[in-house]
Structure 1
Amino acid sequence: MDDLRDSQKATIQDALDMGELTIGRGLNQQLGLSRACDTRWGSHYKSFNNFILMFGSIVEVLESLALDARSMDERANAMGHLESCQTFEVAFMLHLMRDVLAISNELNKCLQRKEQDVANVMLLVEVAKKRLQVLRDDEWNSLIAKVSIFCTKHEILIPNFEEPYVSSLRSRRRLAHYTVLHHYRVEVFCNIIDRQLQELNDRFNEVSIDLLHGIACLNPINSFSSFDSKKIMRMVELYPNDFDEFNMDTLENQLASYIVDVRDVDERFSDLNGLFATASVERAFSAMKFIKNDLRSQMSDDFFSGCLVPFVEKDVFDSIPNDAIIKTFQDMKPRKVQL
């Protein structure tokens, strides 16, 4: 890691000397590489982007490790990573995954905003799908251009796209029945984007869409302007075990009364700006699992609620001084010990 930092520093200095970078506050910050692992709240977009930006330094450090290795195993390990990095396949995958994850990462960040309401979720999903489709249909040439410039800069051999494709797992005597172009464009490029699109379709299927649209109809913004009893009734139809025909008729009548009440009668609903945040609910469930785990599974509901609220609303509780909390706790009932 020290060698990587030193190499980065030297690379940035060379670029500044050549006028390729400008000096300014917040510019040219040192980058890092995170360990590959499962992620829940973010994506690996930053890791792919940093790998591309730090590629020269990574190769330099691997070369140094190979030369200064203390054993044959260490040298073979470093040489293996070095040879893998300096291939067109790795360069192509780095840029492709960065472009794909840039789209899903933007969606991911938007869905986690506390002010994000459910009504806007489906629009964001559709935007992500369309951007992925545009990437698939129209941006192949621009991707290859970026990869080619990258390969030229780092002296990586660019294959002839019209030649038969040879896999590293296949004997060179048994050539594939398709070209290098077909492999990268069809089997890799299109396949990865199609999988990402399928993932979005699976997570936001017809049932999920109906459910989200029904919830969004209860958003109080602009005097419940998005209220639609038909969409709510469609959501209710997803729960046939809970709503029979009689209950459906009753609910439809109650919804008609509800919208009149919250719009025109009950003034408490007049200044509401929103109720739903897509990420807040899931964060609350994450907090529940964190607080009430296998080691603390017997806590009472009151104690559990008392722990959960400060954990979820930590931004509010951080602003409360400790002395105020101590005094409130001390005044709740007579205690033998003065806190």
Structure 2
Amino acid sequence: MRENGWDDFFMSVVSFCELHCVDVPNMGGRYMTGTRRSCQQKDFITIEHAYRIDVFNNVIDCMMRELNDRFPKQTVELLTLSSALDPHNSFMSFNIEHICKLAQKFYPADFLPHELKALEVELKYFQNDIKRLPCFKEITTLSQLCQQLVETTLGENYYLIDRLVRLVLTFPVSTTTTERAFSCMRIIKNRLRSTISDEFLGDCMILHIEREFANAIDNASIIEEFKSSKPRRVRF
């Protein structure tokens, strides 16, 4: 879009302006800054150059930096290899080589060397079954695939595939938990509580992140457990 998207983007802006009766400046005219006095103009640049280079390209470059920071090469590779297990469109993205590489590179602690070889054999049989068995035709998500392997006898034949699918399913959950942890950290450890200890901060974060479970805890039971832990000077 940075290299070839300006013309289409500009035409859409012109169409919007014409629809809402907004004047479109002469893009070949001189771009004026400040109070538009000549002494304040450092360079002679056109209005098109100002909007295209200083605004349009800068916004795209900023977006690219954010995307590259958010999705580094290792994360992109993990997502790409994980997509080989996607059952969408009758397992259109299924790729044995990518799945084996996923298990070998990103989950070496969960698959022994002999299990990696067995996984490749399982995948070959699995590739035939997803084309032959009707139970795989209606599966569109990884969670449905995992449930199908658990609830049927297929899980016994494809236990390594089931293990890998479960590991892939934990990826978005672990990422979301990390994001929630950083968000609540800024709420709990603020300017007024800057000296809070790490242990107490961790306990508060757990209560904040898992507040659905914390709200279900009865205060009376907490008081009783606290009272029975050791003798107190003050009666609760």
TM-score by length of 1: 0.39
Gaps of 5+ in 1: 1-129, 237-246
Q: 1:320 maps to which residue?
A: 217
Distance 2:231 2:211 in 1: 28
Deviation (angstroms), 1:313: 0.3
Query: Are residues 1:253 and 2:114 paired?
Result: yes
Query: Are residues 1:333 and 2:200 paired?
Result: no
The correspondence for 1:190, drawn from 57, 61, 72, is 57
Query: Are residues 1:166 and 2:32 paired?
Result: yes
Superposed counterparts of 1:15-164, under 5 Å: 136=6, 138-146=8-16, 152=22, 159-164=25-30
- Number of equivalences: 183
Distance 2:70 2:5 in 1: 21
Return the letter of the residue paired with 1:140: F
Distance 2:56 2:201 in 1: 48
Distance 2:7 2:25 in 1: 23
Deviation (angstroms), 1:310: 1.4
Q: 1:204 maps to which residue?
A: 71
Deviation (angstroms), 1:176: 4.5
Deviation (angstroms), 1:210: 2.4
Return the letter of the residue paired with 1:231: L
Deviation (angstroms), 1:317: 1.2
Q: 2:90 maps to which residue?
A: none
Distance change in 2, residues 1:184/1:147 (3 Å) = farther
Distance 1:188 1:285 in 2: 32
Deviation (angstroms), 1:230: 0.8
Return the letter of the residue paired with 1:234: K
Distance change in 2, residues 1:285/1:192 (3 Å) = closer
Return the letter of the residue paired with 2:38: R
Distance 1:175 1:298 in 2: 53
Distance change in 2, residues 1:296/1:205 (3 Å) = closer
**Residue pair 2:207, 2:214 contacting (<8 A) in 1 also:** yes
Deviation (angstroms), 1:308: 3.5
Distance 1:141 1:190 in 2: 16
- CA-based RMSD: 5.0
Where 1:309 maps in the other structure, the secondary structure is helix
Gaps of 5+ in 2: 88-93, 123-149
Distance change in 2, residues 1:163/1:333 (3 Å) = closer
Return the letter of the residue paired with 1:333: S
Where 2:229 maps in the other structure, the secondary structure is coil
Query: Are residues 1:295 and 2:195 paired?
Result: yes
Where 2:38 maps in the other structure, the secondary structure is coil
Query: Are residues 1:282 and 2:176 paired?
Result: no
Distance 1:257 1:327 in 2: 54
Query: Are residues 1:308 and 2:205 paired?
Result: yes
Deviation (angstroms), 1:287: 4.2
TM-score by length of 2: 0.51
Distance 1:234 1:338 in 2: 58
Distance change in 2, residues 1:305/1:177 (3 Å) = closer
Cα shift readout 1:127-173 (whole Å, capped 9, x = no counterpart): xxx8x999656232222444566684xxxx75332322223387526
Distance change in 2, residues 1:209/1:287 (3 Å) = same
Distance change in 2, residues 1:251/1:151 (3 Å) = farther
**Residue pair 1:291, 1:307 contacting (<8 A) in 2 also:** no
Return the letter of the residue paired with 2:101: K
Distance 2:8 2:222 in 1: 59
Where 1:295 maps in the other structure, the secondary structure is coil
**Residue pair 2:104, 2:116 contacting (<8 A) in 1 also:** no
Where 1:296 maps in the other structure, the secondary structure is coil
**Residue pair 2:17, 2:24 contacting (<8 A) in 1 also:** no
Deviation (angstroms), 1:283: 1.7
Distance change in 2, residues 1:193/1:255 (3 Å) = same
Distance 1:151 1:310 in 2: 54
**Residue pair 1:164, 1:176 contacting (<8 A) in 2 also:** no
Deviation (angstroms), 1:295: 1.0
Distance 2:105 2:34 in 1: 53
Distance 2:198 2:178 in 1: 23
**Residue pair 1:164, 1:179 contacting (<8 A) in 2 also:** yes
